[in-house]
């Protein structure tokens, strides 16, 4: 399994576990600890995705911009 997909799944599972712990009254201390650690997980996820992620979509040309369903002439701003 690719590292970026595994990391995204792990962080998603972490968020689900955090949301479940928020609903349990006795686990508030664990939820606060998880909240404190979540920025580190998010930073790690961003680094892994930027470093190991693969983009398989169409590349933009010289005169193209990001909206493939719009014509630049009809927008009137270019």
| pLDDT above 80 for 65 | no
The mean pLDDT value for 35-53 works out to 91
Asked whether residue 18 carries a pLDDT value surpassing 90, the answer given is yes
pLDDT at 75 over 80: no
Please give the DSSP secondary-structure letter assigned to residue 24: -
Looking at residue 25, what DSSP letter applies? G
Question: What is the pLDDT, as a whole number, of residue 39?
Answer: 94
Q: DSSP letter string over 54-77?
A: ---SPPP-TT--S-TTS-HHHHS-
Rounded distance between C-alpha atoms, residue 17 and residue 23, angstroms: 10
Percent of the chain with pLDDT over 90: 46
Identify whether the C-beta of residue 8 lies closer than 8 Å to the C-beta of residue 45. yes
Tokens linked to 1: 């399994």
Average pLDDT, the chain: 83
Locate 54 and state its tokens. Answer: 């693969």
């Amino acid at each position: 399994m690719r590292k970026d997909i595994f990391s995204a799944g792990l962080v998603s599972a972490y968020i689900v576990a955090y949301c479940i712990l928020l609903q349990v009254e006795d686990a508030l201390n664990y939820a606060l600890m998880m909240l404190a650690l979540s920025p580190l997980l998010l930073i790690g996820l961003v680094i892994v995705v930027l470093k190991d992620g693969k983009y398989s979509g169409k590349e933009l040309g010289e005169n193209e911009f990001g909206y493939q369903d719009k014509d630049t002439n009809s927008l009137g701003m270019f």
